[in-house]
Structure 1
Amino acid sequence: MITTIVMVSVETDRIPEVAQAIADLDGVSEVYSVAGDVDLIAIVRVREFDQIAEVIAGRLSKIEGVLHTDTHVAFRAYSRHDLEAAFSIGYTASE
Protein backbone atom coordinates (compact mmCIF):
# COMPACT_ATOMS: atom_id res chain seq x y z
CA MET A 1 0.00 0.00 0.00
CA ILE A 2 1.34 3.44 -0.96
CA THR A 3 0.46 6.28 1.39
CA THR A 4 0.54 9.92 0.39
CA ILE A 5 -0.10 12.97 2.54
CA VAL A 6 -1.74 15.78 0.59
CA MET A 7 -1.73 19.32 1.94
CA VAL A 8 -4.69 21.17 0.44
CA SER A 9 -5.31 24.92 0.28
CA VAL A 10 -8.99 25.70 -0.15
CA GLU A 11 -11.25 28.72 -0.63
CA THR A 12 -12.00 29.67 2.98
CA ASP A 13 -15.78 29.67 2.66
CA ARG A 14 -15.81 26.19 1.09
CA ILE A 15 -13.68 24.17 3.53
CA PRO A 16 -16.46 21.84 4.85
CA GLU A 17 -17.85 21.08 1.37
CA VAL A 18 -14.41 20.51 -0.14
CA ALA A 19 -13.37 18.30 2.79
CA GLN A 20 -16.44 16.11 2.28
CA ALA A 21 -15.92 15.93 -1.48
CA ILE A 22 -12.30 14.84 -0.94
CA ALA A 23 -13.33 12.29 1.70
CA ASP A 24 -15.79 10.79 -0.78
CA LEU A 25 -13.06 10.04 -3.36
CA ASP A 26 -11.93 6.43 -3.81
CA GLY A 27 -8.40 6.12 -2.42
CA VAL A 28 -8.83 8.82 0.23
CA SER A 29 -8.87 7.27 3.69
CA GLU A 30 -9.00 10.39 5.87
CA VAL A 31 -9.33 14.17 5.62
CA TYR A 32 -8.38 16.52 8.44
CA SER A 33 -9.27 20.18 8.81
CA VAL A 34 -6.15 21.81 10.26
CA ALA A 35 -4.70 25.10 11.41
CA GLY A 36 -1.52 26.38 9.78
CA ASP A 37 -0.31 26.97 6.25
CA VAL A 38 -2.94 24.71 4.66
CA ASP A 39 -6.64 24.15 5.28
CA LEU A 40 -6.95 20.38 4.86
CA ILE A 41 -4.71 17.34 4.99
CA ALA A 42 -5.85 14.27 3.07
CA ILE A 43 -4.40 10.80 3.49
CA VAL A 44 -4.47 8.88 0.22
CA ARG A 45 -3.76 5.15 0.17
CA VAL A 46 -3.46 3.32 -3.15
CA ARG A 47 -1.89 0.10 -4.42
CA GLU A 48 0.09 1.48 -7.39
CA PHE A 49 1.99 4.71 -8.06
CA ASP A 50 -0.09 5.46 -11.16
CA GLN A 51 -3.15 5.69 -8.93
CA ILE A 52 -1.62 8.62 -7.03
CA ALA A 53 -1.91 10.78 -10.15
CA GLU A 54 -5.44 9.53 -10.82
CA VAL A 55 -6.66 10.40 -7.33
CA ILE A 56 -4.79 13.65 -6.72
CA ALA A 57 -4.19 15.29 -10.11
CA GLY A 58 -7.15 13.64 -11.81
CA ARG A 59 -9.86 14.16 -9.20
CA LEU A 60 -8.86 15.85 -5.93
CA SER A 61 -7.21 18.92 -7.46
CA LYS A 62 -10.22 19.43 -9.77
CA ILE A 63 -12.74 19.77 -6.94
CA GLU A 64 -14.29 23.23 -6.98
CA GLY A 65 -12.73 25.30 -4.21
CA VAL A 66 -9.33 23.56 -4.21
CA LEU A 67 -6.66 26.22 -4.78
CA HIS A 68 -3.40 24.28 -4.40
CA THR A 69 -2.11 20.86 -3.36
CA ASP A 70 1.28 19.74 -2.06
CA THR A 71 1.78 15.98 -2.10
CA HIS A 72 4.23 13.95 0.01
CA VAL A 73 4.78 10.22 -0.59
CA ALA A 74 5.49 8.21 2.55
CA PHE A 75 8.39 5.76 2.37
CA ARG A 76 7.98 4.08 5.75
CA ALA A 77 5.53 4.34 8.66
CA TYR A 78 6.46 4.47 12.32
CA SER A 79 4.01 4.40 15.19
CA ARG A 80 3.97 3.57 18.86
CA HIS A 81 1.60 0.70 18.12
CA ASP A 82 4.03 -0.83 15.60
CA LEU A 83 7.01 -0.46 17.92
CA GLU A 84 5.15 -1.94 20.90
CA ALA A 85 3.99 -4.87 18.77
CA ALA A 86 7.53 -5.55 17.57
CA PHE A 87 8.97 -5.60 21.09
CA SER A 88 6.17 -7.56 22.72
CA ILE A 89 6.16 -10.61 20.48
CA GLY A 90 5.00 -13.59 22.50
CA TYR A 91 3.98 -11.48 25.49
CA THR A 92 0.35 -10.88 26.45
CA ALA A 93 -0.97 -8.59 29.17
CA SER A 94 -2.69 -11.53 30.90
CA GLU A 95 0.61 -13.29 31.58
Structure 2
Amino acid sequence: MMTCIMLVNAERQQIASVAEQLAAMSHVSEVYSVSGQYDLVAVIQVSGPEALSALVTHALAAVNGIVRTETMLSLRTYRKQDLDTMFDIGTS
Protein backbone atom coordinates (compact mmCIF):
# COMPACT_ATOMS: atom_id res chain seq x y z
CA MET A 1 0.00 0.00 0.00
CA MET A 2 1.32 3.43 -0.94
CA THR A 3 0.24 6.53 1.01
CA CYS A 4 0.39 9.91 -0.71
CA ILE A 5 -0.35 13.44 0.42
CA MET A 6 -1.89 15.69 -2.21
CA LEU A 7 -1.87 19.46 -1.80
CA VAL A 8 -4.64 21.13 -3.80
CA ASN A 9 -5.34 24.65 -4.96
CA ALA A 10 -8.93 25.12 -6.07
CA GLU A 11 -10.99 27.92 -7.51
CA ARG A 12 -12.19 29.97 -4.53
CA GLN A 13 -15.90 29.40 -5.19
CA GLN A 14 -15.43 25.66 -5.64
CA ILE A 15 -13.29 24.65 -2.66
CA ALA A 16 -16.14 22.87 -0.87
CA SER A 17 -17.27 21.13 -4.06
CA VAL A 18 -13.74 19.97 -4.86
CA ALA A 19 -13.32 18.69 -1.28
CA GLU A 20 -16.57 16.72 -1.49
CA GLN A 21 -15.63 15.22 -4.86
CA LEU A 22 -12.19 14.21 -3.60
CA ALA A 23 -13.62 12.70 -0.39
CA ALA A 24 -16.01 10.58 -2.47
CA MET A 25 -13.14 8.92 -4.39
CA SER A 26 -12.35 5.36 -3.34
CA HIS A 27 -8.61 5.89 -2.81
CA VAL A 28 -8.96 9.13 -0.86
CA SER A 29 -9.16 8.42 2.87
CA GLU A 30 -9.31 12.02 4.18
CA VAL A 31 -9.61 15.57 2.88
CA TYR A 32 -8.74 18.59 5.01
CA SER A 33 -9.57 22.21 4.37
CA VAL A 34 -6.45 24.09 5.45
CA SER A 35 -5.04 27.57 5.82
CA GLY A 36 -1.89 28.71 4.09
CA GLN A 37 -0.61 28.28 0.57
CA TYR A 38 -2.98 25.42 -0.32
CA ASP A 39 -6.75 25.09 0.01
CA LEU A 40 -7.06 21.35 0.60
CA VAL A 41 -4.93 18.41 1.69
CA ALA A 42 -5.99 14.93 0.60
CA VAL A 43 -4.61 11.69 2.03
CA ILE A 44 -4.52 9.03 -0.68
CA GLN A 45 -3.88 5.30 -0.33
CA VAL A 46 -3.25 3.32 -3.50
CA SER A 47 -1.78 -0.07 -4.33
CA GLY A 48 1.19 1.36 -6.23
CA PRO A 49 2.48 3.85 -8.80
CA GLU A 50 0.13 2.70 -11.56
CA ALA A 51 -2.93 3.26 -9.37
CA LEU A 52 -1.63 6.69 -8.37
CA SER A 53 -1.05 7.58 -12.01
CA ALA A 54 -4.60 6.56 -12.92
CA LEU A 55 -6.02 8.59 -10.05
CA VAL A 56 -4.03 11.71 -10.94
CA THR A 57 -4.42 11.57 -14.73
CA HIS A 58 -8.00 10.34 -14.97
CA ALA A 59 -10.04 10.76 -11.80
CA LEU A 60 -8.64 14.15 -10.78
CA ALA A 61 -8.92 15.46 -14.34
CA ALA A 62 -12.68 15.02 -14.03
CA VAL A 63 -12.92 17.24 -10.93
CA ASN A 64 -13.95 20.75 -11.92
CA GLY A 65 -12.36 23.54 -9.92
CA ILE A 66 -8.89 22.11 -9.32
CA VAL A 67 -6.30 24.69 -10.30
CA ARG A 68 -3.09 22.94 -9.24
CA THR A 69 -1.93 19.93 -7.24
CA GLU A 70 1.30 18.78 -5.69
CA THR A 71 1.60 15.12 -4.73
CA MET A 72 4.07 13.77 -2.21
CA LEU A 73 4.81 10.09 -1.61
CA SER A 74 5.03 8.94 1.98
CA LEU A 75 8.31 7.20 2.75
CA ARG A 76 7.61 6.26 6.38
CA THR A 77 4.73 6.69 8.80
CA TYR A 78 5.23 7.82 12.39
CA ARG A 79 2.18 7.63 14.65
CA LYS A 80 1.92 8.68 18.27
CA GLN A 81 0.69 5.25 19.31
CA ASP A 82 3.69 3.61 17.60
CA LEU A 83 6.13 6.03 19.25
CA ASP A 84 4.52 5.50 22.67
CA THR A 85 4.92 1.73 22.26
CA MET A 86 8.56 2.00 21.17
CA PHE A 87 9.50 4.05 24.23
CA ASP A 88 7.31 2.27 26.79
CA ILE A 89 9.53 0.67 29.42
CA GLY A 90 6.72 -1.38 30.86
CA THR A 91 5.47 0.55 33.88
CA SER A 92 3.21 -1.53 36.08
- TM-score normalised according to structure 1 size: 0.87
CA contact (8 A) 1:9 1:66 kept: yes
Q: What SS does the corresponding residue of 2:58 show, helix, strand or coil? A: coil
**Within 2, Cα distance between the matches of 1:61 and 1:8?**
13
2:10 is matched with 10
AA matched with 1:16:
A
1:32 is matched with 32
Deviation at 1:38, TM superposition (A): 0.8
Structure 2 unmatched ranges of 5 or more: none
AA matched with 1:26:
S
Would you identify which runs of 4 or more consecutive aligned residues in structure 1 move more than 6 Å? none
**Within 2, Cα distance between the matches of 1:45 and 1:54?**
13
RMSD over aligned CA atoms reads 1.6
CA contact (8 A) 1:25 1:55 kept: no
1:75 is matched with 75
AA matched with 2:77:
A
1:65 is matched with 65
Identity of aligned residues (%): 34
- Count how many residue pairs are aligned between Structure 1 and Structure 2: 92
**Within 2, Cα distance between the matches of 1:79 and 1:61?**
32
Deviation at 1:84, TM superposition (A): 1.0
- TM-score normalised according to structure 2 size: 0.90
Deviation at 1:56, TM superposition (A): 2.0
**Within 2, Cα distance between the matches of 1:35 and 1:20?**
17
AA matched with 2:4:
T
